[in-house]
Amino acid sequence: MINVVKIALRNLRRYKRRTQLTLALIVTGMVFFLVFSSVTGSFKNAMVGEVTGSFLGHIQIHQRGYIASIDNLPLQLNLQPEQVKIIDQVLDQDGAVAAFSKRVKFGGAFSNYKQTTNIRINGVNPEQEFATCPQLLSRFVEGSADKSSLERGKILVPELLAHGLKIKAGDTAVVVATNENGSVNGKTFVIGGILSSATGPGGRDGYIHIDDARELLRMTDNAVSEIVIRINDFGQLDKVRNRLFSAVASERTQEGKPIFEVHTWEKLSPFSNIAKMIDVMTFFLMLMLVAVVLISIMNVMIMAVYERIREIGTIAAMGTQPRRILALFITEGFIMGALGALLGLIIGLSIIFGLNLLGISYSFGRQEALILQPTISFSQVFVISGLVTFVSVVASLQPAWKASKMEPIEALGHV
């Protein structure tokens, strides 16, 4: 085999310019793919981290039908205390769950005594909420980014609302809400902090303590609107979601339908479509890379076979078995693909490293100064290098097969 490799290498060196051009094509494709997928991957990860880490969490559990009516924040579809207890037990027993937070969500009117506007509010336990959505703390533009800002009697308000009503941390405001029975109640809050907006639903919600929410809504029990879950390993998202759903699936309505809905963040945020688009674009770029490698290697190998017909005839006449001739040409394609993949990796990873060193910042929606941190996983590197090498071998198959099938007498007579 070493000798086949040696001969293949020398043949590649024989047509230096052609080999260099083909390698350049493969390397360029590899570099584009690596840089693109790492940059878009960085953007996607940042966005997913932002969306899940600041308000959505990784998984949410609601009562059946809640998500379909979520725009109305229906209090009558809250999870009842006995249902919450069941979910508590399931979550406490699952080692994959890092933290979870119970929320009472409602819509109300927010007034600074001069102006009034609508607001969506989450009543939360600060400790649970900050453990489940740790990036909420990074959204503080005013106030102290800790649980003291969400003590009873305090409210965190979204930045746009604060600007509109010209309020700042320490000011007081009134929240008026209608409870499940249609009774209206109001409560005065001190502005504990102002939060920057985040992309997606819930990114412009206000926060109060869950006990204040229950007081305001005159709730007499521990019902909650949703339970937001953070898991330890994001890669296990679907697995954990399915496990949690199975664990609570036995709870059924009288009609025999599951009481609980268990959704991953993807079902709850439109950003998941952008993330999917990024995946689709990356996939198509990979297809283009495959096409570039396939066509360029096939072109080179067809030319190599055509130019070496007499040589093929000579080695066949000397008794070289067809499978060895096949191996010679496939090895040439393999070496070219593997070398292109290696060079592409070196250059691509260097560029990715350089981009990380540069620390380029960018904006997305209302979010500014996001730092571009392109990364690429070992598995992606492995898959793309393997794919390029594999496609190179596949591209060499037809010309190599043709070479191995040549009749020596015809090949020797080729002019």
Partner 1 sequence: MMSLVVARELSKTYKMGDVEVDAVKNANFEIGEGAFVAFVGPSGSGKTTVLNLIGCLDKPTGGGLEVTGFDVTRLDRFQAARFRGTNIGFVFQNFNLIPVLTVAENIEYPLLMVQNRPAKERVTRVNALLEAVGMEDQKAKLPDQLSGGQKQRVAVARALVTNPKLVLADEPTANLDHKTAHSILGLMKKMRREMNTTFIFSTHDPRIMAEAEVLFTLEDGRLITHATEEGGTND
User: Using CB under 8 A as the criterion, which residues of the chain lie in contact with partner 1 when the complex forms?
Assistant: 3-4, 7, 10-11, 13-14, 310-311, 313-322, 324, 407-409, 412
248 or 339: whose CB is closer to partner 1? Answer: 339
88 vs 410 by CB, closer to partner 1: 410
**φ, ψ of residue 93 in degrees (nearest 5):** -85, -15
Residue 156 or residue 411: which is nearer to partner 1 going by CB? 411
Closest separation in Å from C-beta 18 to partner 1 = 14
Provide, rounded to whole angstroms, the least separation between the CB of residue 20 and partner 1.
17
263: phi then psi, degrees, rounded to nearest 5: -120, 145
Q: Kindly report the number of other CB atoms within 10 A of residue 368's CB atom.
A: 10
The contacts found for 407-413 with CB under 8 angstroms, 24 or more apart, are 407/316, 408/313, 408/314, 408/316, 408/317, 409/313, 410/313, 411/309, 411/310, 411/312, 411/313, 411/314, 411/316, 412/310, 412/313, 412/314, 412/317, 413/313
Nearer to partner 1 (CB atom), residue 197 or residue 404: 404
Report the residue number, 34 or 335, with the smaller CB distance to partner 1: 335
State in angstroms the smallest separation of the CB of 404 from partner 1: 10
Q: Collapsing DSSP states into helix, strand and coil, what is residue 193? A: strand
- DSSP class of residue 364? E
Cβ nearer to partner 1, comparing 219 with 315: 315
* Nearer CB in complex with partner 1: 169/400: 400
CB of 313 to partner 1, least distance (A): 8
- Smallest gap from residue 407 Cβ to partner 1 (A): 8
Least Å distance, CB 314 to partner 1, is: 4
Q: Is 10 left (phi over 0), alpha (psi -120 to 50) or beta?
A: alpha
Contacts of 336 (CB under 8 A, 6+ apart): 12, 19, 22, 23, 26, 297, 300, 392
Shortest Cβ 24–partner 1 spacing (Å)? 22
